[in-house]
Chains A and B, each alone.
Chain A
Amino acid sequence: MKKNIFKEFTKGLFKENPILIIMLGLCSCLAVSTDVSNALGMSLGFSFVLIISELLVSIFRKIIPNEVRIPIFLIFIAVPTTIVDLVMKAYFPSLSKSMGVFIPLIVVNCIVLGRIEAFSYKKNFVENLMDSLGMALGYSWVIIVLSIIREIFGKGTFLGIRVMPEVYQPMSILTSPPGGFFLIAVFIALLNGILKRRS
């Protein structure tokens, strides 16, 4: 029993990673990973929404009628998203401005609705807690690693502080869309390769 619950947690990190294996939630992943600070803000906001909405669904799953479940799920997602949006606007106005439309877009992030539909509606509270924590961490590590690579090599800075020597010419293609697409392709290929070697 205990081992099973631990498995629900670890599967989100690599084996069923929401971005690299299931290929969901790509829009926000690529858009905010140009800066480390954006990526940190986005992963916090996304984790909050995912965990709260999965737990809410797991609590109320017995009284949600099957026919109208999607609109009810949307309420459970839209409410935490509104909270995140308002908190960001109030306390981190510059971060909120640089991420722009992508914070409200957490509400249609396919990972959240996909997890709720495929997992939360059928499982109990503890399993949901583990699953949502694992998925949130799996999402966060990918965008944070991606943003570290893109910011250090694309701008020569880390969290806005210059780390590369003056002679280094930043590869600005990495912070533009083509670089993002190419990096994510390399990430997927690497993870697939490693998983295949292991099994």
Chain B
Amino acid sequence: MLSNLLKIIISAAIVDNMVFIRYIALCSYVGVTNSIDASIGMAFAVIFVQTIATAITWIIFHLFMQGLEFLEIIVFIFTIAALVQLVEIYLKKNVPSLYKAMGIYLPLITTNCMILAVTFINIDKNYTFIESLVYALGTSFGYGLALLILAGVRERLRLSNIPKFFKGYPIVFTSMALIAIAFLGFKGLIK
């Protein structure tokens, strides 16, 4: 049981890293890694929302949606949109310090493909409640890791001498390619 959960968390965070191996959540990823501070805020916001969203969509799907599976897309996107709004309002009122740290990233999260993708994958793979929570934690942790790595690299890139046409996004993608090669090295770590 425990080894199974450990397997899920490692494969979700590192071996099947959402950004570098499965190409999910790239838009927000490229946008946010401009600065390390923004990356940290985004990473925690994603971990927070991802776990809650997974728990709620799992419960909704397994309790209320027998025979209504074709409505999955509509129901899930609305659950997540409503959830993000509620979390934002709650944090603003009751935990202002936390809101200050990750408030501006919350609206962005509704269109972060990763939140929706992970809820779909959980249903596809038939995970139990605990397994899907662990999977959500693993993927969002892997996403945070990826954010921090690229944010650090981009901080360095600002000072380096780059060919004229590769300035801006091209060099960012080239560095992502090199980091992805490193992540490919973890392939086969878990059978």
Q: List residues of chain A with CB under 8 Å of any chain B CB.
A: 23-27, 30-31, 70-71, 74-75, 78-79, 81-82, 85-86, 100-101, 104-105, 107-110, 113, 176-182, 184-186, 188-190, 192-193
* Known contacts A105-B113, A182-B173; is-contact A27 B165 (Cβ 8 Å): no
**Cβ–Cβ contact A188 & B74, under 8 A:** no
Decide: B23 and A74 in contact? CB cutoff 8 A: no
A140 to B165, CA, bound (A): 24
Interface residues of B (CB under 8 A from A): 20-27, 30-31, 70-74, 77-78, 81, 110-113, 116-117, 120-121, 124, 165-166, 168-174, 176-178, 180-181, 183-184
Residue of A24, A113, A185 with most partner-chain B CB within 10 A: A185
Verify B176–A181 contact, CB threshold 8 A: yes
| Complex contact B23–A82 (CB within 8 A) | no
Q: A27-B23, A101-B124 are in contact. List 4 more A-B contacts (CB 8 A).
A: A78-B78, A85-B73, A86-B70, A177-B184
**CB-based contact A185/B73 at 8 Å:** no
Minimum CB–CB distance from A142 to chain B (whole Å) comes to 14
On chain B, the residues within 8 Å of A71 by CB distance are 78, 81
Contact (Cβ within 8 A) A26 B73: no
> Which residues does chain A contribute within 8 Å of B165, judged by CB atoms?
189-190, 192-193
Q: List 23 A-B contacts (CB under 8 A).
A: A23-B27, A26-B26, A26-B30, A27-B24, A74-B81, A79-B74, A82-B70, A82-B71, A85-B73, A105-B24, A107-B116, A108-B77, A176-B180, A177-B21, A181-B173, A181-B176, A185-B169, A185-B171, A186-B170, A188-B169, A188-B170, A189-B165, A189-B170
